[in-house]
Amino acid sequence: METEQKQKPKQEDLILEAKKFFDTHKQEIRESVRSGSGVVKLSFPWIAEFSPTLSENLLQLPEETIAILETALEESNLIERPRIRLVDLPATQVKIKIREIRARHLDQLLWIEGIVRQASDVRPQVVNARFECPSCGAILSVLQIDRKFREPTRCSCNWRGAFKLLSKEMVDAQRLVLEESPDTLEGGEQPRRLNVFLKEDLVDPKMEERTTPGSRVMVFGVLKEVPVPLQTGAISTRFDIAIEANNIVSREESFEDLEINEDDMKEIRELSADPYLFKRLSQSLAPSIYGFEQIKESVLLQLFGGVKKVKSDGGATRGDIHVLLVGDPGVAKSVLLKYVSTIAPKGRYVSGKAVTAAGLTAAVVKDEFLRGWALEAGAMVLANKGVLCVDEIEKMDEHDRSTMHESMEQQCVTISKANIHATLRAETTVLAAGNPKLGRFDPYTPIPQQIDISPALLSRFDIIFIIRDLPNKIQDEAIATHVLEEHKQDVIRDVINPKLLKKYIAYAKQKVKPKLTDGAIEEIKSFYIKLRNQSVKSDSVIKPIPITARQLEGIIRLSEAHAKMHLREEVNREDAKIAIKLLKYSLMQVGSDEETKSFDIDKMTTGITSSKRGKILLVREVIAQLESKLGKLIPMEELHKEIADKVTDIELEDALSHLSKSGAIFMPKKGFIQRM
């Protein structure tokens, strides 16, 4: 009794202290109260500064102290039935890794960070139940703390039978499985997992969107023991642990979620008025890399993106721009990819052999808790409305690579496995990089034949860049100076702060949706028609196809991104010209036909130019004609005589090797050929 009397004034003192604290921070509390939800966000440093007693109690006895603070806040008449959510806890005292949690941390306030691996459905849970005694009519209230529903054991009138249930107080609850972030692990450690229980406002729909599997979160909460029932029904001596969350803060930001204040707006407007904006922004991308002007410009436009549109027939065209870099080793492709994955909110970085189809799209896994199948999202889905950087793309398995087709063009991932049939959104921009087939470019082989990626996937990239590492004294000197300056570590470059760049892109993506003007349409149209119908000196009947409608859409997306970058609502001629210039630069590297001195999209997608294909078809026709004259066995001399004025010996040799590879002809004996 004496101890109770000693404790009572202590609790009253704490309530008085809490009331004084709320009086001094009335303004901040009013601001932090969200409309009608009764949630108050309290910063721990405020409490520590005002009252060391309160802050100490909060760390030692979190649940009781939070209840005292809520009581004081309600009695201050500032808000009814408040819920206190803590932010800015002291990292030195309470921040801990999941693997470091021990028995001594039970019932203490902790702060953990990790990635959500699984999230259960939001379901109601009983927190309090009221019962009526059938004997004397007394109303009894029982707090439901355990997982098992508790009834009163006895009444004050000594009634020990069944009680009548009057009402249940229920709240929404959800269970998350939190896993340690890969960047906190050392060496070959296996990431540990921990259950987190969320209640009330922490599971509202807006918050639930940010705690989907794959999201990075910070959790503030109290560590609890969870009894493990044995098969006999008794409780095991070993207990499981879980965190009862007081607050959960998402570390994921999409461009739409970034908050932009007045000061940021002022800086953004000043920056948009810069006449050299495009150059300055592109040079601010991975400033540790020298050169790469066109590549940096394209990647910058990729971050801004085009405009997603719904067509007249109800279908949608993507606004995301996909870029592929194929280059010799050591030209800083991975550095650029890593930089982009950090500057883009929801940016993900994956690499070659370590990627599977399930890891890219979605995996169906057994759910241990709900005894069924659950869906775990892959990188493409997790980077929805963000950027996915795929390094070493040529080292991926062909089957795994083929799963990217649908998500790159249709912008969704359909999965039909076990009893799950789902369509997941994957509005993801892809920036990929890889090496040529032999590790380095061979100067004597056509470039498209050295890219080990299927034509179907290649055609989905709006822009493809070839990066050759060729010795050049002036350029080598500049690169060496740049690299050595970086290693000196005291270089200051005139670049835009990454935070401002991030906010600038976010603002443009949120607010600007540019539309094509007649001038831009005319410019793109004339380029497309001119290139498609270029006059080509070719003996072949087959005319080369310089570009297809897919490249036309690519130009539109790039010009929209350029207008968006200047915060303009209209796409003008200038935007279209810059987009055309970038596409031309890309086509010059991969799609130019040396023989006809023109662009040829077939070279890029199939590796064979149309002029070369024309010659192969011509040789095949001549072989068919000779067969009707001479019979099945055709001497090589006769073929040479017949075709000498149309193709050169080297071209004939090349055409015959192509036909034999495809199985159209074979050589039954030396000096003779025969059709299959």
Q: What is the CATH number of the domain that holds 653?
A: 1.10.10.10
One domain, residues 292 and 164: no
Q: How far apart are CA 261 and CA 257, in angstroms?
A: 13
Domain count, the chain: 4
646 shares its domain with 571: no
- Within a domain: 20: yes
Q: Domain holding 527: CATH number?
A: 3.40.50.300
Residue 1 pLDDT grade (very low, low, confident, very high; cuts 50, 70, 90):
very low
Q: Which of 208-217, 252-261, 453-462, 494-503 has the lowest mean pLDDT?
A: 252-261
Same domain (yes/no): 419, 305: yes
Pairwise CA distance, residues 483 & 291, whole Å: 12
**What are the pLDDT digits (tens) for 386-419?**
888 888 888 888 888 888 888 888 888 888 877 7
Domain boundary among 230, 250, 270: 250
Co-location of 556 and 625 in the same domain: no
As given in the structure block, the two tokens for residue 474 are 């002036």
Provide the residue type at 82 as one letter.
Answer: P
Return the SS3 of 594: coil
> DSSP state, 524?
H
Which phi and psi angles does 415 have, rounded to 5°? Answer: -135, 130
Lowest mean pLDDT among 78-82, 563-567, 657-661: 78-82
Please check whether residues 585 and 646 belong to one and the same domain. Answer: no
Q: Determine, yes or no, domain membership for 256.
A: no
pLDDT of 671 reads 72
Within-domain flag for 669: yes
Q: Domain range spanning residue 650?
A: 610-675
Q: Kindly state the average pLDDT of the residues 335-363.
A: 81
Name the token pair of 6. Answer: 């000693």
Dig out the tokens for 122 from the structure.
Answer: 């939001």
- Token pair for 442: 């061979």
Does a structural domain hold residue 60?
yes
How far is it, in rounded angstroms, from Cα 288 to Cα 291? 10
How confident is the model at residue 663, as a pLDDT? 67
d(CA 158, CA 166): 20
The Cα-based distances of 127 to 83, 147, 235 in angstroms read: 15, 10, 22
**Under 8 Å CB-to-CB from 391, ≥6 apart: which residues?**
333, 334, 337, 349, 350, 351, 352, 432, 433, 434
The string of DSSP codes covering 183-237 is GG--TTPPPPEEEEEEEGGGGSHHHHHHTSTT-EEEEEEEEEEEEEE-TTSSEEE
Q: Identify the weakest region by mean pLDDT among 4-13, 313-322, 461-470.
A: 4-13
Average pLDDT over residues 631-647: 74
Verify that 388 and 478 share a domain, yes or no: yes
Report the C-alpha gap between 90 and 56 in whole angstroms: 12
Average pLDDT over residues 104-122: 80
> CA geometry: angle at 67 spanning 131 and 130, to 5°?
5
Q: What is the DSSP string of 187-198?
A: TTPPPPEEEEEE
Same domain for 386 and 525: yes
Same domain, 570 and 666: no
In a domain, 111, yes or no: yes
How is 302-326 classified by DSSP, letter by letter?
HHH----EE-TTS-EE-----EEEE
DSSP state of 354: G
For residue 594, is it within any domain? no
Which tens digits make up the pLDDT trace of 193-222? 888 888 877 777 777 777 776 677 888 888
Which of 133-147, 353-367, 430-444 shows the highest mean pLDDT? 430-444
Average pLDDT over residues 181-200: 74
Q: Decide: 282 and 297 in contact? Cβ < 8 Å.
A: yes
Whether 73 has a pLDDT exceeding 70, the answer reads: yes
Query: Exposed, middle or buried, 234 (CB in 10 Å: 0-12/13-18/19+)?
Result: exposed
CA-to-CA distance for 658 and 660, rounded, in angstroms? 6
Contacts of 41 (CB under 8 A, 6+ apart): 32, 85, 86, 87, 247
E strands, 426-566, in order: 429-434, 463-467, 515-516
Do 666 and 536 have their domain in common? no
Residue 601 placed within a domain: no
Share of the chain above pLDDT 70, in %: 80
pLDDT band at 498 (very low <50, low <70, confident <90, very high): confident
Whole-number mean pLDDT of the chain? 76
Residue 267 lies in a domain: yes
Q: How far apart are CA 161 and CA 150, in angstroms?
A: 14
Instruction: Please classify residue 486 by burial: count the beta carbons closer than 10 Å to its beta carbon, then call 0-12 exposed, 13-18 middle and 19+ buried.
Output: middle
Of residues 339, 333, 281, 245, the one with CA closest to residue 497: 281
Please give the pLDDT value at position 607.
52
User: Does 563 lie in the same domain as 631?
Assistant: no
Residue 133 DSSP class: -
Least confident segment among 43-47, 129-133, 413-417: 43-47
pLDDT at 328: 84
Residue 614's CB is within 10 A of a number of other CB atoms, namely: 19
Q: Mark whether 246 and 310 lie in a shared domain.
A: no
